[in-house]
Amino acid sequence: MMESFPHHSADEIQPIHGTSSVLTGVFPRNAGMGAGKDAFAELLARIEERTARVGIIGLGYVGLPLAQTFSRNGFPVLGFDVDAAKVDQLNQGKSYIGHISDNSICNMRSNGFEATNQFERLQEVDAVLICVPTPLTETRDPDLSFVLNSVEAIAAHPRHGRLVVLESTTYPGTTREAVLPILERNGLRVGQDFFLAFSPEREDPGNPSFSAPNIPKVVGGIEPRSLELAAQLYSRGMTKVVRVSSPEVAEACKILENTYRAVNIALVNELKILYDRMGINIWEVIEAAKTKPFGFQAFYPGPGLGGHCIPIDPFYLTWVARKYGLSTRFIELAGEINTAMPAYVVERIGDALNARGKAIRGSKITLLGMAYKKDVDDSRESPGLELLTLLLRKGAIVHYNDPHIPRLPRTRRHPYLDMTSQELTPEYLQTRDCVVIVTDHSAYDWEQIVRYAPLIVDTRNATRDVRDEEKRVIRA
């Protein structure tokens, strides 16, 4: 779940303010702990006293909750982001993430939190946590430019004895093979001059039960002292720290978690298509299977995968597997199935309209929910964006509604989208040829939607409890 650098292709990315590919090679006299002292012991003491200043690069859906966690636990926090507008909002006590309130930001500010886009201030922090995007290129190869730009900035503004932790999801080997060499330039030594670890983010925006403080934190250090410092730092913000033997194990752990979900979602998506042709309700099948107290975990079908993790992370593993001469056929097949789901939904929309004597071209279609998951304001990689694109290409007149996303953000894959959310009045619903349920936000009144919309294509089983829904609802 990496953020919050602008989404650009690798050849569009410029170095972060103040970075350079040529490092200074020396620690300035005012760069914190003295080079002649035991850097490990000094930083450990600062962590124990909560006087260590924590820097966080990337103040998005991962970095901002992390900053909030450390701020609440008494650490001075300095947040870094290239987006000057976000920096200004935070310094004014305002939030741009739905599940973090303005009051929370004001409390952070009272505790000493500050945001900046001046990366030379990295010299002020004792520990720096990297929470930036790791997207895919157009050819589905890893794009590490955000991570590498961040590391270049850290290396260009050195501080003796600093802890660096990469949280951005990536392939096993990134911390050791890509990050470490940049920090070791000019003879700097890991475990003595600086410390390095990997700890994968596990944020789940919109989940009321789990947030940064109470999600177990996996940590793997390049060497034992790096592991100890990272574990001690996180233990003062999180309820549980899980130490593993290396960064590679921690990196592989995160990829496994999201690949597990992607493969199982692909399975139920494929079964949805099969059971639909057989006249069987896949959601009823899953509810029945859930009654088994062992050997089964419920996953649910949908219009496609969205978000910053599941659609992307497994392809990092397929990429690195090719370097070792292996083909991860299971993962790639799951990716094919999940990627094809928006096209399947469009096919179902076409069938539903055709049964009523209409074509997709010229039909007025409204998509409900453009966020990638329920009750969040995050549209990254949302299947709704792909559905919207496919329907526009087929000549439909497409609107959307999302109570959490009043205006669609432009992305590098969808730079042409410039839409605002439509109000769902009874009069508006009656004018639609088809309403498509993409994301089942809690704010929606399903009974009203079913009552007034002439035709509904439901990809989430959201209308299951509405009486008489079978008269105008098509599941897809």
Q: Where in the sequence numbering do the catalytic residues fall?
A: 309
Q: Are strands 217-221 and 194-198 parallel, antiparallel or unpaired?
A: antiparallel
Residue 378 vs residues 8, 147, 303, 415: alpha-carbon distances, Å: 18, 21, 16, 17
Gap between the Cα atoms of 94 and 101, Å rounded: 8
Q: Is the dihedral of CA 301, 304, 309, 314 positive or negative?
A: positive
Q: How many CB atoms lie within 10 A of CB 323?
A: 9
Ordered strands of the 194-198 beta sheet: 114-116, 77-80, 54-57, 127-130, 162-166, 194-198, 217-221, 241-244
Burial status of residue 322 (CB atoms within 10 A of its CB: 0-12, 13-18, 19 or more): exposed
Residue 388 and residue 306 in contact, taking contact as beta carbons nearer than 8 Å:
no
Question: How would you label 398-407 residue by residue, b for 16+ Cβ within 10 Å and e otherwise?
Answer: bbbbbbbbee
Q: Are strands 127-130 and 54-57 parallel, antiparallel or unpaired?
A: parallel
- Cβ pair 152, 182 in contact under 8 A: yes
Number of H helices, E strands in the chain: 15, 13
d(CA 161, CA 163) in angstroms, rounded, equals: 7
Work out the angle at residue 446's Cα, subtended by the Cα atoms of residues 445 and 451, and round it to the nearest 5 degrees: 105
Which structure tokens are listed for 426?
């009874």
Name residue, tokens 């790096």. Answer: 226
